[in-house]
Structure 1
Amino acid sequence: MIDVQRLRVLRCVAEHGSFNRAATALHMTPSAVSQHIAALERSVGARVVDRSTRGVTLTQAGRIMVGAAESVAAELAHAAREIDRLGTARSQLTVATFTSGGRYLLPGALTRLTAAHPGSVVHVRAAEPEDSLPLLRQGAVDVALAYHFDGPLPGLRGPGPDVEWLPLMEDPLHVVLPETHPLADRPVLDLSELADEPWVLGCLKTEAYLRRYAERAGFSPEVRGSTTDYFFARSLVAAGAGLSLIPTVALTPSLPGVRAVPLAPPAPARHIGAAVLRRSVRPPVSTLIAALRECAEGAAAAGSGARPAQPSAASPEGPS
């Protein structure tokens, strides 16, 4: 029989990449961690990690077992929440969301949710997708409002039948310029026209995205500043520090002194969606997903610049 504690240790080793760091996180000794892994390998009849001087990496069997460990953790967390609900008529729902998408979509969706399920208690925690999606698989949250660019969903080690990705909207990125800039009145811009401009960014992940698109346009951007706040980045643009690449949902509230101009196709965009665990979808979760879709469709219909989700965004090299 496979011991649940040993699965927990393996998952921690996979997360931290070494026995020593896993031992610190688990408040164990490295020797105890090694013994747990050795016992797990004996019980499954296969090596689950490859050991080297650079740390440890998962074998194919190890990856399978980590997936099982995440499923077990999610099931136990789900069971604990169900037991908690036995003592109260109030349904508990936890939502993880990235900041700009949560500010844009979540308030209206929560209003609809509480109207349909007045006894629900909703907990909201801010988390970027690379954190919220693992939390979902672990059963720590019921819904993860997340996004990806033109690659796979972050924070997931690969496809899995447990997570369902539900596309909500496409969130095109705009160039934000000082309103006095010679190109500020243009209806659309090609990125190649901005090859000589300095840049300030409101998200560290946006820098890698900008560099990829700039390379396609034939230049290497000069990045003078990186922030973790889109409003701050727009403030720097207004002060003349450079241009910025900002998603549609982060263009509100408006800021004096700047203009946002769409990029010519193929324009970069974020794909926003909600992730849920298939086996734990219950009426409040279904209601919230439907409400998020209504809010996304309403924003697109109002001419915000956001677009309905495209089918191609449904399975971004990750969960189906």
Structure 2
Amino acid sequence: MIDVQRLRVLRMVAEHGSFNKAAAALRLTPSAVSQHIAALERSLGAQVVARSTRGVTLTQAGRIMVGAAESVAAELELARQQVDRLNTGRVQLTVATFTSGGRHLLPGALARLLATHPHTVLHVREGEPEDTLPLVRQGAVDLALAYHFDGPLPTGPGPGSSLHWTALLEDPLHVVLPEGHRLAGRESLDIAELAAEPWVLGCSKTEAYLRRYAERAGFEPEMRGTTTDYFFARSLVAAGMGISLIPSIALVPAVPGVHAVPVKAPAPTRHIGVATIDRRRDHPHVTTFIRALREQAAQQPESGHG
């Protein structure tokens, strides 16, 4: 029989990439973590991690077992919620979201959900997709409002196929320029036209995305600053520090002194959607909430240039 605690230890090793970091997260000693993994390997008759001086990586057997660990954790959390519902008569729904998406999509969707299910106990957790999508797989949250660029979903270790993705909207990025900039009157811009400009950006992933586009255009962008807030980044543009690359929904509320111009096709775009796991997405509250998010996304106006 496979020990559930050993599966939990393996999941943490996969998440952190080392025995020492997993031990710290679990409040165990590295030796205890190593013993759990060794015992799991003995019970399976297969190696689940490959050890090296750079840390540990999952073997094929390890990836299979991490997927099983995610499923077990999700089932136990779902069972706990069902027991809680029996004891209290209330349904709890935990929603994870990234900041700009949550600001524009969640309030209206939450209001729609509560109008249909007024006794729902709601919890909201803020975080980036690479942090929240693994929580969906583990059953720690019921669904996550998330995004990705032109790559796959950042699902973390284990089989991302266990996630069900419902697309909500396309969120193209705009170049944000100071008022009076020589290019501010253009209807659209090519990234290559901005090779000589300094940049201030609103998140590290946008910076990585810009660098990929800039490399294709044959230049190295000069970074003057990276923030964790798009509003702050636009304020720095208004102050004359540089230009920025901002998703459409993060252009609201307006910041005086800046002008947003669309990027020419193929424009860099965030793909926004909601992630669930199959065993949760047919739950009436989850179904209602996803429908509410889709309705809210459909009402998003086209971004202005302010």
**What TM-score range do you get, normalising by the shorter chain?**
over 0.9
Across the two proteins, how many residue pairs are aligned to each other? 303
- Aligned position for 1:175: 175
> Is residue 113–residue 287 contact of structure 1 (8 Å, CA) maintained in 2?
yes
Q: How does 1:10-159 map to 2 (within 5 A)?
A: 10-157=10-157, 159=159
Range that drifts further, 53-62 or 173-182: 53-62
- Unaligned residue ranges in structure 2 (runs of 5+): none
Match of 1:295 in 2: 296
Q: Deviations over 1:190-240 (max 9, x none)?
A: 111111111000111111100111122222111111111000000000000
* Residue 211 (1) aligns with residue 215 (2): no
C-alpha separation in 2, matches of 1:21 and 1:60:
22
Per-residue CA distance 1:254-300 (angstroms, 9 max, x = gap): 0110000001101100000000111122111101100111111121x
Q: Equivalent residues in 2 for 1:180-199 (5 A)?
A: 180-199=180-199
1:255 partnered with 2:255 = yes
Identity rate, percent:
74
User: 2: distance between equivalents of 1:141 and 1:30?
Assistant: 28
CA distance in 1, matches of 2:289, 2:72: 25
Distance 2:159 2:39 in 1: 28
Greater mean alpha carbon deviation, residues 22-31 or residues 263-272: 22-31
CA distance in 2, matches of 1:8, 1:229: 34
Structure 1 residue 38 displacement after superposition: 1.3
Q: Separation in 2 of the partners of 1:160 and 1:174?
A: 30
Aligned equivalents of 2:299 and 2:159: distance in 1?
Answer: 31
Q: Following the alignment from structure 2 to structure 1, what is the Cα–Cα distance between the partners of residues 73 and 267?
A: 40
The superposition leaves residues 60-118 of structure 1 with CA deviations (integer Å, 9 ceiling, x where unpaired) of 10111011111111111111111111122221100000000000111111111110111
Q: In the alignment, what sits opposite 1:241?
A: 241
Q: 1:278 and 1:223 mapped to 2: Cα distance?
A: 42
What secondary structure is seen at the aligned counterpart in 1 of 2:276? strand
Q: Which amino acid aligns with 1:217?
A: A
- 1:314 matched residue in structure 2: none
Deviation for aligned residue 1:303: 3.1
Which SS does the other structure have where 1:87 is aligned? Answer: helix
Paired AA for residue 266 in structure 2:
P
Distance in 1 of aligned mates of 2:181 and 2:69: 54
Distance (Å, rounded) in 1 between the aligned partners of 2:16 and 2:161? 24
1:285 corresponds to 2:286:
yes
Displacement of 1:42 in angstroms is 1.3
Matched residue type, 1:42: R
Secondary structure class of the residue paired with 1:47:
coil
Greater alpha carbon shift after TM alignment, 116-125 vs 267-276: 116-125
How many angstroms does 1:15 deviate by?
1.7
| TM-score where L is the length of structure 1 | 0.92
Q: Within 2, Cα distance between the matches of 1:242 and 1:142? A: 40
Q: Contact 1:175–1:246 at 8 Å: present in 2 too? A: yes
Q: Secondary structure at the match of 1:66?
A: helix
Q: Aligned equivalents of 2:161 and 2:266: distance in 1?
A: 32
Secondary structure, in 3 states, of the residue corresponding to 1:118? Answer: coil
Unaligned runs of 5+ in 1: 306-320
State the TM-score, normalized to the length of structure 2.
Answer: 0.96
Contact (CA 8 Å) 1:162, 1:279: kept in 2 or not?
Answer: no
SS for the counterpart of 1:180 is: coil
Task: Tell whether the 8 Å contact from 2:66 to 2:158 is kept in structure 1 after alignment.
Answer: no
